[in-house]
A and B are shown apart, each in its own frame.
Chain A
Amino acid sequence: MRRYLNQLVSSARRQWYLIPIALFLFVWLATRMRANPVLFFQFLVDGIRLGFVYALIALGYTMVYGIVRLINFAHGDVFMVGAFTAYYATTRYHWGFLPAMLLAMVVCAFLAVIIERVAYKPLRDAPRIAALITAIGMSFFLEYFTALDFVFTPNFISYVPLPIIFQPWEIGGVTFSNVMLIVMAITTALMLLLWFIVYRTKMGKAMRAVAWDKPTARLMGIDVDMVITFTFALGAALAAVGGMLYVIVYPQIRTFLGAMPGLKAFIAAVFGGIGSIPGAFIGSLIIGMVETLSQGYISSLMRDAIVFSILILVLLFKPTGLFGEASKEKA
């Protein structure tokens, strides 16, 4: 306890300039809340809903980064393919919500496995920048290929009819909806499932071992390539659900829709501490709320600038994020 306090005091002494900033933010938010509490809580609720969607994408980033130290730039596009799969399954083929979701998960898992096999696996021993370039090339390819007229077309498509009938209700003036509850329930369920896989199964143990020390894991008889492929598939399946939920919340689909949420989710993963699963979740919630609050109170144009500034600030003051392991990353 005393040690913890000492640590707190010493870190406060080192980063004292953060205290007035935090105080200012707190006072600013408090005055906004007093001025119009209903609006404030509405922004907060919307932000939480968005954060739950981001969490599903951020988990994939964080798992892949934790295991192969690669920023998988194509992840946002896998998310987009998930959204499109669900859209076509529910509108053109009249599948139900859950079957469409499962289909999207399977399709994206396959896609991610192919991407990993083609673009990343051959480069595992090459300079890391090479894999980064292929990741960017893959993202480019997926975005522009799917934007061709005979694939998904480059246009915005409205998602009608939605697979869930939107039912809003009010509590004290703040609007909630069944969509929000479904988003929260599915994300929570998947997070629990992920936690179970990572911490309670043999595969999860292998994943943690590979993330910790690849050569030793291999010496212990773990099929490292298998584990990496599995991680990609798992992350993509989660992103597929995220894509589906995202286009249900914001029913406008386009092949370039993955890039921004992908980046934001990545920021959330860094904010929470890259490599950390709870970090990705908490980081996503915070980024979601920051986004809706800054959109509501400052301007929608500045929204992205603020989210990106947060990334810069996090990297400046606490690059390992909220839950990152300092000893592993620091050189």
Chain B
Amino acid sequence: MSETTGTKARSNVVSVLLSRRTMYWLLGVLAALAFPHVIGNDYYLDMVIMILMWAALAEAYNISGGFGGQFSLGHSAFLGIGAYTSTILFWKLGVSPWLGMIPGALFAAVIALLLGGVTLRLRGPFLGLASLAFTEVAHIVAVNWRPMTRGSEGIGIPYKPGLANMIFSSKADYFYLALALAGGVVLITWLISRSRLGHYLIAVRENQEAARALGVNTTKIKVTGLVISAILTAIGGTFYAQYILYIDPALMTFDMSIKFPLIAVVGGIGTVWGPVLGAAIMVPLSQILRSTISGSVSGLDLALYGLLLILVVLFMPHGLLVEIQQRFRRWRTAKGGGHAADH
């Protein structure tokens, strides 16, 4: 009995290793490694890096906002906390951002624990409100605590390239870093989505009473999701600071906070790949709108952006990814039906 399951497992491993899927993955990794050298154009490379960064950030948001269904409007505060903590440590004490991201992530986790611990006991938009208010407070603190944050002037990070400083002279290295970040966050989300925690999160989102009746500690689950999300967002913040090499209090504003749910919703919130798709669409879109339209009529790009947002959500309330999947399925069944009629 045990022997048969053993051979089965072994043959499974072999077949997985040799399967087409693995091949595709390997090819994908190779393509990714070669990508910056093939592109060779810093403008597009920069855009891809921004896409990867926002994919990571929206994916981090997705863990609590999508799977858990608890929407925060203050993720930019977590981003800012991560960015400011590692930057101040690097700038004042010379601590490597690789280490500096840990206290930043812990700080964000504590804030998430405090905000979530209280507001997630309740039903309603209370987390959104508390996190929105917290972002405003964090913004004002960053503006006024001049000795630490240099106020609205912002902190320019001294340009000292080197792996230890997480500053690179070539965009290709940043691309690999961003890819690792996005890949890591997507992997974590994927693992969560298949784990007990992921199922609990979805259960809480879909029907809190039922989940509770089945013995799920709903508050604990929601807070756990938020804390993981905050930690990953703060790590993204460190990457942001090290890539842009400049941070200012505008990092922690409402406008920044809404980018997180926005990208996730456009792509497909509550799915593993949705936020990635959302970032791949929204980041270039906003850049193109900004560079092409705002030249002729300033501000029009942002008005269009708002309009577009409404249209996308109206016509695809579950996001682009789900929409594409549904269309594909319909198309395939329609094709299958045609075959059946032929025979």
Contact = CB atoms under 8 A, between A and B. Distances in A.
A311 B130 contact: yes
A331 B123 contact: yes
A80 to B, nearest CB: 14
A102 interface: no
Interface stretch (B11-19, B88-96, B261-269): B261-269
B317 A71 contact: no
A270 B209 CA distance: 25
Contacts of A219: none
Q: Which of B69, B71, B300, B317 has the most CB of A within 10 A?
A: B317
A315 to B, nearest CB: 5
Contacts of B273: none
Contacts of B129: 71, 266, 270, 311, 315
A301 B140 contact: yes
A6 B183 CA distance: 56
Contact of B122 (A142, A143, A266, A329): A329
Nearest to B128: A71
A330 B119 CA distance: 11
A133 interface: yes
Contacts of B115: 312
A68 B299 CA distance: 32
A64 to B, nearest CB: 12
Interface string B277-317: 00000000000000000000111101101111110011001
A315 B136 contact: no
A119 B314 CA distance: 7
Q: Chain A at the B interface: mostly helix, strand, loop or mixed?
A: helix
B208 interface: yes
Nearest to B135: A308
Contacts of A141: 303, 306-307, 310
Interface string B120-139: 01111110111011101100
B14 to A, nearest CB: 42
A205 interface: no
B313 A133 contact: yes
A118 interface: yes
The winner among A123, A137, A139, A149 for most chain B CB atoms within 10 A is A137
Contacts of B99: none
Contact of B262 (A126, A136, A145, A302): A136
Given A119-B314, A319-B122, 7 more contacts: A118-B314, A136-B258, A143-B306, A144-B305, A147-B299, A301-B144, A329-B123
> Which 6 A/B pairs are nearest by Cβ-Cβ distance?
A140-B306, A141-B306, A137-B309, A126-B317, A331-B123, A144-B303
Interface of A: 69, 71, 118-119, 122-123, 126-127, 129-130, 132-134, 136-145, 147-149, 154, 263, 266-267, 270, 274, 301-302, 304-305, 308-309, 311-312, 315-316, 319, 329-331
24 contacts: A126-B318, A129-B261, A129-B265, A132-B71, A133-B258, A141-B303, A143-B306, A145-B306, A149-B297, A263-B132, A266-B129, A302-B140, A304-B140, A308-B136, A308-B140, A311-B129, A311-B133, A312-B133, A312-B137, A315-B118, A315-B129, A315-B133, A316-B130, A329-B122
